[in-house]
Structure 1
Amino acid sequence: MSIAAKLEAFRNEPFTDFKQEASKQAMEAAIAKVRSELGREYPLHIGEERIYTEDKIRSVNPGNLDETIGYMSKANQELAEKAMQTALSTFETWKKVPAKERAAYLLKAAELMQERKAEFSALMVLEAGKNYAEADADTAEAIDFLNFYAREMIRLSEINETMPLTQVEGEDNRLTYIPLGVGVIIPPWNFPLAICAGMTSAAIVAGNTVLLKPASNTPVIAYHFVQLMEEVGLPAGVLNFIPGSGAEVGDYLTTHPKTRFVSFTGSKEVGLRISKLAADTAPGQIWIKRLVAEMGGKDGIVVDETADLDAAAQAIVSSAFGFQGQKCSAGSRAFVVEEVYDQVVEKVVQLTQQLRVGLPEHNFPIGPVIDEGSFQKILDYIEIGKQEGQLLCGGSKAEGNGYYIEPTVFADVSGNARIMQEEIFGPVLAIGKAKDWKEAIELYNDTEFGLTGAFFSRDEDRIAEALDTMHCGNLYVNRKCTGALVGAHPFGGFNMSGTDSKAGGYDYLLLFTQAKLTSRKK
């Protein structure tokens, strides 16, 4: 079968099963195709201009450090200002484009991305270090975001007809949702297509113009998304692409008086810095900047003695080690009641020891972490963990010409230990013992974060109480705490996990609009 035929078979599958030889071969063909295009230089997109800069970001394959994905042009403050002025000018026309017309761009982009999903996924395998399933799910989520936000914008544009206001005799009252203005979009590297596309498309379809500053670890994936939006005919200046330093470009735009909103996904530390900078009023600023922030997590799974222990152990391992634990929703903690503690720990260790580490392009379950900084930070936390708990498996770097770390499990960890409290963002799991299910929930709640959690039990009364008392934005019962689906599991957390913005939910677009009431006397 030719490469073209393999890719055609891949893109026509609604859900990709890589146990099927045809799907596996299609992904291998896509990786080969993407690899043939590596090492290119990429420009900024500001309006109709394509600007190559001398200063560049080198994107590296984290699983093979000898391989360069591409060289991304890097914006400075002068170019950021140029992008801001372009976005401001374009906003005056874009905000007048009917919602259905704006939505049509997203729907077309979703269609084209579906046709090219193998290539998008293959690029994530190489640039982000995702295995086949993780990359495929990322692309699928991006497609879902584009479709969902397009249809949701159409619904919002018709809300006065579908959800009429209380009638007042002699008046014609209408509520419309209008765009905010120019926004800064700062997506993360761990979902470099899905979250980038979701954050950007939500702002655009609501009628705003945007400045997209992608994560420096995965700029090439973001560039391909920008190219896709250009291909579907999105007017120049609506989406401006300005990779650059967070300290230089990010801070400059966050504090800019013409920035109307900032949409950010990333760490707690960076999110709090953005919140502080955005809260200050710059000279000439006439609004309170809106911040949409999805930050960190220290998520966990609670298991009681009535639970299906095999299912619980599988969920713990999947939640902890999917994409090397580099998800804000990753289940990096587990609290198990003492009656079944030893059984669950044994099952978790057995499953973890089956996970093999290697190149994502060869579809190993565990690949590299994203970069040198993360690599060293995670290894440092592992050394801390050796003082705070019992190391049962893993505990060191793994072989390979990349940032490989063994999936690591610590048991008998107290609730106040650093590896129980601080976000590690790597393949490290801490397990603690609780005297009963109520104490397990208390231990789970003892964190500054509140993003995802899971409760395993067969007791309906306990489940009811867990649903009421486990404090997080996304709580799951008898399933893993990762894997939110657009439209089904609106995603966002409490406390230091962010503004609970609920991406993929029916009120998410409201964050990029402002409601205007008009009342006309008849």
Structure 2
Amino acid sequence: MTLNLKLYINGEWIESNNPDKQDILNPANQQIIAKAPKATKEETEKAIHMAKTAFESGVWSERTPQERAQTLLEIAEKMEESMDELADLEMQNNGKTRREAQADAAEAANTFRYYAGLLNHPNGQIYEASQDMQTMIVKEPMGVAGLIVPWNFPLLMSVWKMAPALAAGNSIILKPAEITPLTAVKVFELMDQTSLPKGVAHLVMGSGAIVGQTIAESDHVDIVSFTGSTGVGRQIMKAATGNLKKVSLELGGKSPNIIFDDADLETAVDYALFGIFMGAGQVCSSGSRILVQEGIYDKFVTTYVARAKAIKVGPGNEESSEVGAIVSKKHMESILEYIRIGKEEGATLLCGGKRIERDGMEKGFFIEPTVFTDVTSDMRIVREEIFGPVVVIQKFKDEEEAIKLANDTEFGLAGAVFSKDQHKAMRVIQKVRAGITWVNTYHLTNVQAPWGGYKQSGIGRSLGTYGLDEYQETKQINISLNPQPIQWFE
């Protein structure tokens, strides 16, 4: 059955005036599973107008934190009741394995619960500025938040933005990626069953050139939060200058995973595999550059390649699958082109490098886990984000060279160090110019910790208290405790 998706504007599911539809495919077999609308500029502007109207009415923005928290808990409960359906939709639409999709669904519900709890914590400051003056620092919602999410974590990225934006009291417009809207639609169906007022949340599907650009340019949008490529992030920054709206960007990465001679080899290899091949490498924080000290380099590479060759790639609905499909034909072709470039540049391909067209996967978009060695820092496969199951392994001599190689990138999203020497590990990780880092582990994080990067990996932070701050204005209120004429002009 092919689903017919609709826009959600001002509390109603509506057909777009644009008759053109986006085919939504299952990347494991290319079956059309849904038809999505391509909203017009006028429909996007209507959603923005209704969001602004709802904000100014105070129907949500003036609710108490406790009242907003209760609604967020209702959303979390609805998501938990629909956990299996959310995971199945994510698996079908994105190509994830069932295990990954289930983990994302659980974390998405937990994110709403976290921000509901955060609303019940003290927020603000009071200063005794002088004997007769008291200053209060308070947080207020910004207004209308435009939320633009990517295709690699359609459910989780949507919730990472929606939960704090709503918690802060804003109205929202969510634009999912054109090819992965299914879980966003389901979440809005669930929110529609809660006490969230009509007109506060809007779902507008369509192209970045129309929907995304309209959101970024609008004078009635107060913040735009985008997760995606660095190139598109730059375009959004330019578009947002009209009303100098706040911009929050979580962009690309080419993250280093530094492994010293004294690391536990089994642990380092295991996390280095997880660091790049989880999510088929379609993860912004992937450890796509493995830096290995020369003393264990040969042993590490031999062990790593043997493990990579044994990874089971397959459709997400098969329990044995450890890595799922690439999200689309277009992206698969981009990854394969990078693999061709790597070989042309002179890197050594130790395993993988090809599309998988066997065992019933002929119609799907599957790529073998791919490992390159003998690379240099000027190669494109070392410098550019491939966003797929492709990793490069480089050799280093000492701490100084490891840090130099790690930071030799325009990105600064993530990084890791593996060593049994905790003092050395901390010395090095503190010098890695990245916003999300690990010692003797990779990828594991939690909703309480801020997420974001340095350099061209973005601006601002998601999650934790920092994520709530992104969607709030900070106001000072000065109160005279002894009102009298100032007599400045005598």
Q: Distance in 2 between matches of 1:496 and 1:116?
A: 37
* 1:141 and 2:107 aligned: yes
Amino acid corresponding to residue 383 of structure 1 in structure 2: R
Q: Which has the higher helix share?
A: 1
* 1:444 and 2:444 aligned: no
Within-5 A mapping of 1:391-430: 391-399=349-357, 400=361, 401-430=363-392
Structure 1 counterpart of 2:486:
none
Kept in 2, the 8 Å contact 1:171–1:520? The answer is yes
Structure 2 counterpart of 1:386:
343
Structure 1 counterpart of 2:64:
98
Amino acid corresponding to residue 174 of structure 1 in structure 2: M
Three-state SS of the structure 1 residue aligned to 2:371 is strand
Q: Which of 20, 28, 44 does residue 55 from structure 1 map onto?
A: 20
Kept in 1, the 8 Å contact 2:280–2:325? The answer is yes
Three-state SS of the structure 2 residue aligned to 1:361 is coil
Kept in 1, the 8 Å contact 2:460–2:470? The answer is no
Q: Which of 40, 47, 50 does residue 76 from structure 1 map onto?
A: 40
**TM-score, normalised via structure 1 length:** 0.88
Within-5 A mapping of 1:68-467: 68-92=32-56, 93=58, 94-155=60-121, 158-160=122-124, 163-166=125-128, 168-279=130-241, 281=242, 285=243, 288-363=244-319, 364-387=321-344, 388-399=346-357, 400=361, 401-467=363-429
Within-5 A mapping of 1:472-487: 472-480=434-442, 482-487=443-448
Q: Deviations over 1:398-438 (max 9, x none)?
A: 12111111110011211221111100000001001112232
Q: Deviations over 1:239-290 (max 9, x none)?
A: 01110110012112211111111011111111111011112x2xxx4xx200
Three-state SS of the structure 2 residue aligned to 1:221 is helix
Q: CA deviation at 1:320?
A: 0.9
Kept in 2, the 8 Å contact 1:473–1:500? The answer is no
Q: CA deviation at 1:167?
A: 5.8
Amino acid corresponding to residue 43 of structure 1 in structure 2: K
Q: Deviations over 1:347-403 (max 9, x none)?
A: 110110111221111131121111111111000000111133111110111121111
* 1:521 and 2:480 aligned: yes
Three-state SS of the structure 2 residue aligned to 1:218 is coil
Q: Deviations over 1:55-113 (max 9, x none)?
A: 22221100010x22211222101111111111111011222121221121111111221
Kept in 2, the 8 Å contact 1:103–1:151? The answer is yes
Kept in 1, the 8 Å contact 2:126–2:134? The answer is no
Q: CA deviation at 1:509?
A: 1.0
Amino acid corresponding to residue 371 of structure 2 in structure 1: V
Paired positions, count? 471
Kept in 1, the 8 Å contact 2:151–2:177? The answer is yes
Q: Distance in 2 between matches of 1:496 and 1:292?
A: 12
Q: Distance in 1 between matches of 2:421 and 2:134?
A: 53
Compare 171-180 and 235-244 and name the one that shifted more: 171-180
Kept in 1, the 8 Å contact 2:262–2:419? The answer is yes
Q: Distance in 1 between matches of 2:318 and 2:478?
A: 62
Moved over 6 A (4+): none
Amino acid corresponding to residue 147 of structure 1 in structure 2: R
Kept in 1, the 8 Å contact 2:450–2:466? The answer is no
Q: Distance in 1 between matches of 2:417 and 2:205?
A: 40
Three-state SS of the structure 2 residue aligned to 1:176 is strand
Q: CA deviation at 1:178?
A: 0.8
**TM-score, normalised via structure 2 length:** 0.93
Q: CA deviation at 1:134?
A: 0.9
Q: CA deviation at 1:172?
A: 4.2
Q: Which of 494, 509, 513 does residue 468 from structure 2 map onto?
A: 509
Three-state SS of the structure 1 residue aligned to 2:459 is coil
Structure 2 counterpart of 1:498:
458
Kept in 2, the 8 Å contact 1:42–1:71? The answer is yes
Kept in 1, the 8 Å contact 2:258–2:291? The answer is yes
Q: Distance in 2 between matches of 1:420 and 1:411?
A: 10
Q: CA deviation at 1:440?
A: 1.8
Q: Distance in 2 between matches of 1:107 and 1:331?
A: 34
Q: CA deviation at 1:159?
A: 2.2
Q: CA deviation at 1:491?
A: 1.3
Q: Distance in 2 between matches of 1:325 and 1:295?
A: 15
Q: CA deviation at 1:500?
A: 4.0
Q: CA deviation at 1:115?
A: 2.2
Q: Distance in 2 between matches of 1:334 and 1:402?
A: 29
Q: Distance in 1 between matches of 2:144 and 2:426?
A: 44
Compare 430-439 and 377-386 and name the one that shifted more: 430-439
Q: Deviations over 1:453-499 (max 9, x none)?
A: 1101112332131122111101101112x232211x32111111101
Structure 2 counterpart of 1:4:
none
Q: Distance in 2 between matches of 1:432 and 1:438?
A: 14
Percent identity reads 37
Three-state SS of the structure 2 residue aligned to 1:124 is helix
Three-state SS of the structure 1 residue aligned to 2:295 is helix
Three-state SS of the structure 1 residue aligned to 2:395 is strand
Q: Distance in 2 between matches of 1:385 and 1:179?
A: 48
Kept in 2, the 8 Å contact 1:303–1:437? The answer is no
Kept in 1, the 8 Å contact 2:416–2:438? The answer is yes
C-alpha RMSD of matched pairs (Å) = 1.4
Q: Distance in 1 between matches of 2:12 and 2:464?
A: 35
Kept in 2, the 8 Å contact 1:124–1:130? The answer is yes
Q: Distance in 1 between matches of 2:477 and 2:399?
A: 53
Kept in 1, the 8 Å contact 2:127–2:136? The answer is yes
